[in-house]
């Protein structure tokens, strides 16, 4: 090959290399952090989405679920921001409880801008329930009991004091004319599963959580769902549960569920996880899980999801100020 031909070959090779697309991110050992103990909504989100990611071959190996409880999600949030902010193989379950705690400044020094928001996988309506052997049959009866003697009813929830589970009860109490909602007793546990266990053990008198957490215990007959905090009765198997609205209380509470990622995750990795969650949401497998668990549609990702979370934080800040949780 003469010098001219060699130069042309080298030039062509350089051009081809330059025009070749960069290698896209490929996950290795994927981990999903559930910021609470097993059995609650965050655990459900990690395990069900993780299983679907693997079943659909979106990730090459089973997703490791790590339960990292504490501070209503604050321990996990701090861990990601402070120690794992560049981990491209990490996703974290989030929900309205996350945006509520951020709105109330309950994660000290933490802001929503320190992580990247991936997408939602549905909305989970709130419920208020009692144990199967409770004499209470309606939400109004329960709140009347609170009015008569606030110390006689303790509500158990899987979020911290001032968190989403707590907030739902306070909003319901306020709608029922309970003026001093600070007297409403709420006991925080690390996850909805633990809260239901305390209810079944007789340590508390009521449970505040989400339908995906409560359905299994309702199906087994262990608890009685007094009200779903939806604008109207839900479809299918969930139509048997009354709403707060039909009991005269204008209370609607939907808990969004989704994921965030480390703040310094690479753009390629972030794009992969946004697309991965979109594929899960669109799959027949996930539609089946939504139907069986009571999740309602909420399809947001990337920038749209980030804007949604910001709006949720802004609205929750306003509500929390109105009812005196924050100044």
If asked whether residues 35 and 55 sit together in one domain, one would say yes
pLDDT of residue 2: 53
Domain with residue 211: its CATH number is 3.40.190.10
Token pair, residue 54, equals 């693997």
- Beta-strand runs (E) in the chain: 31-34, 64-67, 90-95, 115-131, 154-157, 185-188, 206-210, 223-228, 254-262
For the segment 51-71, the average pLDDT, to the nearest whole number, is: 97
For the segment 248-270, the average pLDDT, to the nearest whole number, is: 95
Residue 189, phi then psi, degrees to nearest 5: -130, 165
pLDDT of residue 14: 47
Q: Coil, strand, or helix at residue 218?
A: helix
List the beta bridge partners of residue 254. Answer: 125
Q: Is residue 92 part of a domain?
A: yes
- Give the confidence band of 19 by pLDDT, cuts at 50, 70, 90: very low
Contact of 101 with 73, CB cutoff 8 Å = yes
Its domain, for residue 207, covers 125-247
Residue 6 has pLDDT above 70, yes or no: no
Q: Is residue 1 part of a domain?
A: no
305-323 pLDDT per residue, tens: 999 999 999 988 988 888 7
pLDDT of residue 45: 95
pLDDT of residue 23: 53
pTM: 0.78
What average pLDDT does the structure give for the chain? 90
CA–CA gap between residue 256 and residue 7 (Å, rounded): 59
266-284 pLDDT per residue, tens: 999 999 999 999 999 999 9
If asked whether residues 157 and 90 sit together in one domain, one would say no
If asked whether residues 174 and 233 sit together in one domain, one would say yes
Q: Which of 121, 112, 168, 163 has its CA nearest to residue 281?
A: 121
Counted domains in the chain = 2
Instruction: Count Cα neighbours of 174 within 13 Å in the Cβ-side half-sphere.
Output: 15
pLDDT of residue 21: 44
Residue 56 CB contacts under 8 Å (≥ 6 apart), including other chains = 279, 280, 283, 285
If asked whether residues 134 and 224 sit together in one domain, one would say yes
List the beta bridge partners of residue 188. Answer: 157
Domain with residue 318: its CATH number is 3.40.190.150
If asked whether residues 116 and 143 sit together in one domain, one would say no
If asked whether residues 195 and 260 sit together in one domain, one would say no
Residue 139 has pLDDT above 60, yes or no: yes
203-240 pLDDT per residue, tens: 999 999 999 889 889 999 999 999 999 999 998 889 99
If asked whether residues 272 and 160 sit together in one domain, one would say no
If asked whether residues 164 and 222 sit together in one domain, one would say yes
If asked whether residues 132 and 194 sit together in one domain, one would say yes
Structural domain ending residue among the three candidates 227, 247, 267? 247
User: In this prediction, what percent of the chain has a pLDDT beyond 90?
Assistant: 73
For the segment 154-169, the average pLDDT, to the nearest whole number, is: 90
Bridge pairing between strands 31-34 and 64-67? parallel
If asked whether residues 301 and 156 sit together in one domain, one would say no
Q: Coil, strand, or helix at residue 222?
A: coil
If asked whether residues 318 and 290 sit together in one domain, one would say yes
pLDDT of residue 4: 45
Residue 9 has pLDDT above 70, yes or no: no
């Amino acid at each position: 090959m003469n010098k001219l031909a060699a130069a042309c070959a080298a030039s062509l090779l350089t051009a081809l290399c330059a025009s070749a697309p960069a290698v896209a991110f490929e996950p290795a050992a994927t981990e999903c952090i559930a910021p609470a103990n097993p059995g609650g909504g965050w655990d459900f989100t990690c395990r069900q989405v993780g299983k679907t990611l693997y079943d659909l071959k979106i990730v090459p190996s089973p997703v490791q679920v790590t339960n990292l409880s504490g501070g209503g999600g604050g321990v996990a949030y701090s861990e990601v921001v402070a120690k794992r902010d560049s981990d491209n193989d990490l996703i974290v379950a989030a929900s309205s409880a996350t945006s509520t705690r951020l709105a109330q400044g309950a994660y000290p020094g933490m802001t929503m801008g320190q992580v990247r928001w991936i997408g939602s996988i549905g909305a989970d309506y709130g419920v208020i329930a009692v144990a199967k052997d409770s004499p209470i049959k309606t939400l109004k009866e329960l709140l009347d009991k609170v009015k008569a003697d606030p110390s006689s009813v303790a509500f158990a929830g899987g979020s911290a004091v001032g968190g989403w589970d707590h907030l739902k009860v306070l909003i319901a109490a306020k709608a029922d004319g309970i003026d001093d909602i600070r007297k409403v007793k709420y006991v925080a546990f690390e996850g909805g599963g633990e809260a239901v266990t305390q209810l079944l053990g007789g340590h508390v008198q009521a449970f505040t959580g989400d339908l995906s957490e409560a359905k299994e215990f309702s199906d087994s007959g262990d608890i009685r769902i007094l009200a779903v905090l939806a604008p109207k009765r839900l479809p299918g198997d969930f139509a048997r549960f009354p709403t707060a609205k039909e009991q005269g209380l204008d209370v609607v509470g939907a808990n969004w569920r989704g994921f965030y990622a480390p703040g310094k995750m690479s753009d390629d990795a972030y794009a992969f996880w946004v697309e991965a969650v979109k594929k899960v949401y669109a799959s027949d497998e996930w539609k089946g899980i939504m139907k069986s668990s009571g999740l309602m549609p909420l399809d947001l990702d990337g920038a749209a999801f980030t804007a949604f979370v910001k709006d949720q934080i802004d609205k929750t800040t306003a509500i929390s100020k109105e009812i005196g949780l924050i100044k």
